[in-house]
Structure 1
Amino acid sequence: MNVTLPFLLFLLVTPAFAQPKPDLTTPYERSGGLQTATYPEIIDYYRRLDRQFEQAKLIEVGQTDVGKPLHLFLLAADQSFTARPNRVTLLINNGIHPGEPEGIDACMMLARDLLQANKLPKNVLLAIVPVFNVDGCLNRGVSRVNQNGPETYGFRGNARNLNLNRDFIKADAENTKAFQTMFQQLKPQVFIDNHTSDGADYQHVVTYFATQKDKLHPALSGYMTQTFQPALDKALAAGGFPTAPYVNNPKDKPESGLLGYNDSPRYSTGYAALFNCFGFTLETHMWKDYPARVKGSYAFDEAVLRLCERDAPTILANKQRADAAVTGQTTFALNYRLDRSRVDSVTFLGYEAAYKPSEVSGLQRLYYDRARPFTKRIPYLNHFVPDLQLTAPRGYVIPQGWREVIALLKRNGVRMQAFARDTLLPVSAYYLDEYKTAPRPYEGHYLHTGVKVRTETQRLPFYKGDYLILTNQPANRYLIETLEPQAQDSFFAWNFFDSILDQKEYFSDYIFEDTAAELLRNDPALRQKLADKRASDKVFAESANAQLEFIYKQTPYFEKTYNRYPVYRLEGGR
């Protein structure tokens, strides 16, 4: 090729780096704040950040129910993308409900801005889940009729129509299994789950609830409520986003009082708390315009990041103290309820609520009058007390046949060891004397509640490959909340052990009549128990089959495994 001198000189003097910079404008920004990014746009955007910046890395952490991978985006000033004990890990989750997409768009911009300005904190690993419910993100539409934008967005349910923010104990979804594996590898100290609210109208763009403080170790709860949250609220107010607690109230008017949120372990922040990670569920207000909600999400996530940077040594020390304390803890509280005798107050920016005739029904309907804003101190009830306290055993024994439960325990970082040989052990065995089962399914399960147990000491055979789980480990709270059947979100509550509730052997009355008669002749104590039962229960006294069954259950013929909970407590000192 013939090259002219002027062109050759141009090539020589033109800098090699004078290439057009990649366009890192997000789809949200290009739409003027009207649209949220689609799933392909989200992942493509993070890939471009990964390619351009050495401080960023996009990885796949598992699969989802829709068949697409679950991604994690990591930002580290020193380009070290693994969790370290001398660095805070902040985990931000987006799109658990993809119809509430503010966090998706806000985190895309936040990640870009931090990278471009070279303002990543050196003592924080920032981990962002671009979109958790990939399935729902792909199912795009306009399903949230009460929400003010964006134009289209994802759906709350995943590919199995599961609400993933109820899945953190049962882990039915592949999404959740991948999340749990990722969480246990990261071991974050602080967690954010980005959402949009439903419910009442008010002035606040940003509301949120923190991990329920009364469930946390005192080192965590004291720091979170007395230091971190006041600084967070102050920073957000200075940025134009005065905060309020998540508007959870039993009446139409928020000024009647707000209730704290009991985030049990089925929820993301409740799950995180089991591992001494305190967290926040951000709820931007559904009826504010979409750009305001995205800006509020950005401000919230950035403020939390900066506080993690500021207080990293304290956050790390508190987590270490809590882990050590839980490892040696012997008494645990379960099933928290609101203490209505303790009332605080918060400043709330609301609108006057009133009623007028409905154009649809002709009856009275609620409305909020934006022409009548108010600022008031309103009641806030946010103290919870346990319904149950129990002493942890020295360990648990679980037979290997309960593979789903064992897989969950392993995935969640529980240390366990398999028996090397068949073993005979004295254990405490629970029998499930009472429980109620919901009449309708909830997230694919018929939940058990109101569980009452009795305990028998038994000497039982366990076999090579069964598991011993000692309770001298940081995962103790997870163990207690899942393995004790009385717990609100235990594996028993979520139906993992329902096969033990079926009786497998029965009697034929015409044959057992003679056996029962002989038993009564030879056992005066049994004869007296039967007489007492007849005297106290008329219906029982008039039922021949009920009396035969009563005797049958007192005999060695009745199966010992019926209603016997198949996770056994190994008692004694640690």
Structure 2
Amino acid sequence: MERSTYHRVSGILVLLMAILFIGHISAQEKEMYWGNIVPENWNGDWSDKLRTPSEKSGFTYTATNDDVLNYFAMLLESSENVHVFNMFISDLRRSSPVLVMSNPRITTPEEAKASGKMVVYLQGGIHPEECEGKEALFMVIRDILFGDKKHLLDELVILINPNFNVDGNETRVLTGSYPRLAGIRRNAANYDVNRDAMKLQTLNMQGAYENVFNTWDPTLIFDMHRMGNTRHGYAIGQSTSNVVTAHQAPREYVTYTMFPSIVEKAREIGNIEVGMHCGLNRGWPPTEFTHDNSIWSTEAKFMASGYGLRNRMAILVETPGGETFEKAIYSQYIYAHALLQHCAEHSKEMQEICKKTEQEVVETIKAKAASGTLKNYVSGKYVSDGKIPVLAFRDRTMHQIPGTSMMELYRPNPPEWVPNVDLITKPVGTKESVVPRGYLIPEKLDFIVEKLRRHGVTVTQLQKDTKVEGSEYMIDSMEYKPMGFAKYQMTTLSGEFTPSSKTFPAGTYVVDMAQPLANVVFYCLEPEVRDGFVGWNLMDEYLADIGVNEGKIAYPIFKYLTIE
């Protein structure tokens, strides 16, 4: 889809490189907290009531769901600026609560909208073994309600769910990271929840969309993770939604305005270096720093990625593996405060960008879709966004933890600044398809309609037999191809679109694309999107029933340009 450009990339790259170079110099002039180093007494002196479960253990323990519930109950008794609601009940019947912080107190999405303040959603624990985000959020909450950060509530309504994958968090296993006992990656139904942003198969993700995204409508969501044993020397890495189907304005604002701002703020308030969520290529010195090496694709299956299709902003961060639990919590804590500080200072600007993006999506559909000339991307890849200095460890070894059979990462020397490394993080489209005025879905595909409605998409039905002009996708073959490090068996169709004129019966579902979530609809329904509804196997049985394995057939979802 045609989009307006909000920033000149060449000038942005110069600014980004300048910030990185200044960071290089400043790191030499003052102590920066590399590796496992944290400042003394960084988390402050608090009463026992306000200390977090991890703090009480000396950073050897991560909170259970009961700990979260008890902490939230204490907050309700101790502050007039909080409200708690349940996002969902898990497969094992556990509650996953969301804390709302606001001044004055707000208890409903309608009150939040009426306040005019920007809503921000912060989340930890989607992968419970990556539990430092959960612990850091307890401290962020404490600083805002009882410390020196209450001013953030002058501009923001802040929603926090520190323990999103509640069932995975309660299944404690021995790990080679910190703490030694932590939750498992998948939920009780054995799904990786952070691959479910499109198909919405898990109770976790259904709850997020129905009870937060479609209701509170956060301008920005923030998702906290940990990587494996990386070679880069940053305390934490950042990324945003890079789905090329999404409107580029929110993505460009996050990438070229927010990220440099957060880098500077994190240096100022926490003496840490923030980089991109990337992996380096082999050899020394490294020459490439790329999202592809950190499994951060241009696809929408991740929560933060899928959220970008909604004309909103998203940030995902990952602390590097091998660092102590305390340092990982510290890095997440500093980053969260830097992010919230930027949001509070620029809330009106961020809201306006998202509002204009939404309007542009709808207006473009109305003006151009019926002509058949409007197009959007169904796939993408990363290319270079310029050369920058990158912080990297030259020497890394694995050491056995004394008294155990487990190994841990050992880095004997501080990281070094490596100049002229290719930053391969710019998403570009590789294949296009026509954006229709709307889609027609047979009544038998009501389960597809249910998925769209969970996303917040408006779907109606034909009241009478209706003739339409458009195109249909003629399928030549259907096969399964592995995707990602988990090797998901994704459905892949081969075929082509052909012009068509048809009459559809009353009761056929209609998705008019002149709505804010048009890019969500396009991504979910287009047959050539790798991880849309087709890719995630949602239509396999139906396609088999209508003969996909016996010869050429028409994809049952029709793209119309004009309708009577």
Q: TM-score, normalised by structure 1?
A: 0.79
Deviations 1:516-536 (A, max 9, x none): xxxxxxxxxxxxxxxxxxxxx
Which segment drifts farther, 447-456 or 298-307? Answer: 447-456
Which residue in 2 is equivalent to 1:314?
A: 349
The one of 239, 259, 267 aligned to 1:237: 267
Matched, 1:394 2:437: yes
Which residue in 1 is equivalent to 2:120?
A: 90
Which residue in 2 is equivalent to 1:160?
A: 189
The one of 285, 290, 313 aligned to 2:325: 290
Amino acid at match of 1:565: Y
Closer/same/farther in 2, CA of residues 224 and 573 from structure 1, 3 Å limit: farther
Closer/same/farther in 2, CA of residues 110 and 65 from structure 1, 3 Å limit: same
Equivalent residue of 2:349, what SS? helix
Give yes or no for contact 1:394–1:571 (8 Å, CA) kept in 2: yes
Give yes or no for contact 2:219–2:351 (8 Å, CA) kept in 1: yes
- Once the two structures are TM-superposed, the CA of residue 433 in structure 1 deviates from its matched residue by 1.9
Which residue in 1 is equivalent to 2:91?
A: 65
Which residue in 1 is equivalent to 2:171?
A: 139
> Aligned equivalents of 1:489 and 1:88: distance in 2?
31
- Once the two structures are TM-superposed, the CA of residue 475 in structure 1 deviates from its matched residue by 0.3
Which residue in 2 is equivalent to 1:184?
A: 214
Give the aligned length.
Answer: 489
Equivalent residue of 1:382, what SS? strand
> Aligned equivalents of 2:189 and 2:285: distance in 1?
35
1:79-478 mapped onto 2 (5 Å cutoff): 79-81=105-107, 82=109, 83-84=112-113, 86-117=116-147, 118-143=150-175, 145=176, 147=177, 149-181=178-210, 182-212=212-242, 217-238=247-268, 239-251=270-282, 255-260=286-291, 261-329=296-364, 330-339=374-383, 342=384, 344-353=386-395, 369-371=411-413, 373-377=415-419, 378-423=421-466, 425-438=468-481, 446-449=489-492, 451-464=494-507, 466-478=508-520
Give yes or no for contact 1:326–1:476 (8 Å, CA) kept in 2: yes
Give yes or no for contact 2:473–2:495 (8 Å, CA) kept in 1: no
- Once the two structures are TM-superposed, the CA of residue 202 in structure 1 deviates from its matched residue by 4.2
- Once the two structures are TM-superposed, the CA of residue 391 in structure 1 deviates from its matched residue by 2.4
Q: Which has more radius of gyration?
A: 1
Amino acid at match of 1:292: K
Give yes or no for contact 2:263–2:273 (8 Å, CA) kept in 1: yes
Deviations 1:538-561 (A, max 9, x none): xxxxxxxxxxx9xxx7xxxxxxxx
Give yes or no for contact 1:429–1:458 (8 Å, CA) kept in 2: no
- Once the two structures are TM-superposed, the CA of residue 375 in structure 1 deviates from its matched residue by 1.8
Amino acid at match of 1:232: I
Which residue in 2 is equivalent to 1:75?
A: 101
Matched, 1:481 2:523: yes
- Once the two structures are TM-superposed, the CA of residue 213 in structure 1 deviates from its matched residue by 8.1
Closer/same/farther in 2, CA of residues 497 and 202 from structure 1, 3 Å limit: closer
Give yes or no for contact 2:459–2:511 (8 Å, CA) kept in 1: yes
Deviations 1:157-198 (A, max 9, x none): 111221111111111211111111121112111111100111
Which segment drifts farther, 319-328 or 345-354? Answer: 345-354
> Aligned equivalents of 2:513 and 2:503: distance in 1?
20
> Aligned equivalents of 1:23 and 1:503: distance in 2?
60
- Once the two structures are TM-superposed, the CA of residue 369 in structure 1 deviates from its matched residue by 5.0
Give yes or no for contact 2:441–2:557 (8 Å, CA) kept in 1: yes
> Aligned equivalents of 1:391 and 1:412: distance in 2?
22
- Once the two structures are TM-superposed, the CA of residue 414 in structure 1 deviates from its matched residue by 0.8
> Aligned equivalents of 1:498 and 1:119: distance in 2?
52
- Once the two structures are TM-superposed, the CA of residue 440 in structure 1 deviates from its matched residue by 9.2
> Aligned equivalents of 1:370 and 1:442: distance in 2?
30
Give yes or no for contact 2:397–2:411 (8 Å, CA) kept in 1: no
Amino acid at match of 1:251: R
Amino acid at match of 1:32: G
Which segment drifts farther, 447-456 or 294-303? Answer: 447-456
> Aligned equivalents of 2:489 and 2:430: distance in 1?
22
Give yes or no for contact 1:162–1:443 (8 Å, CA) kept in 2: no
> Aligned equivalents of 1:505 and 1:343: distance in 2?
45
Closer/same/farther in 2, CA of residues 266 and 504 from structure 1, 3 Å limit: closer
- Once the two structures are TM-superposed, the CA of residue 425 in structure 1 deviates from its matched residue by 4.6
Deviations 1:287-315 (A, max 9, x none): 11111111111111111111110001100
Which segment drifts farther, 219-228 or 490-499? Answer: 219-228
Equivalent residue of 1:502, what SS? helix
Amino acid at match of 1:193: D
Which segment drifts farther, 297-306 or 371-380? Answer: 371-380
Deviations 1:376-405 (A, max 9, x none): 222211222211122211111112222221
Q: C-alpha root-mean-square deviation of aligned residues, in Å? A: 3.0
Closer/same/farther in 2, CA of residues 373 and 248 from structure 1, 3 Å limit: closer
Which one scores higher on RCO, CA 8 angstroms, separation ≥ 6? 2
Closer/same/farther in 2, CA of residues 354 and 134 from structure 1, 3 Å limit: closer
- Once the two structures are TM-superposed, the CA of residue 427 in structure 1 deviates from its matched residue by 4.9
> Aligned equivalents of 2:77 and 2:50: distance in 1?
12
- Once the two structures are TM-superposed, the CA of residue 275 in structure 1 deviates from its matched residue by 0.6
> Aligned equivalents of 1:72 and 1:287: distance in 2?
30
Closer/same/farther in 2, CA of residues 242 and 441 from structure 1, 3 Å limit: closer
> Aligned equivalents of 2:515 and 2:505: distance in 1?
23
Closer/same/farther in 2, CA of residues 136 and 474 from structure 1, 3 Å limit: same
Give yes or no for contact 1:208–1:282 (8 Å, CA) kept in 2: yes
Which residue in 2 is equivalent to 1:542?
A: none
Closer/same/farther in 2, CA of residues 367 and 116 from structure 1, 3 Å limit: closer
Closer/same/farther in 2, CA of residues 218 and 35 from structure 1, 3 Å limit: same
Identity %: 21
Amino acid at match of 2:77: R
Amino acid at match of 2:555: Y
Which segment drifts farther, 299-308 or 494-503? Answer: 494-503
- Once the two structures are TM-superposed, the CA of residue 278 in structure 1 deviates from its matched residue by 1.7
> Aligned equivalents of 1:190 and 1:170: distance in 2?
21
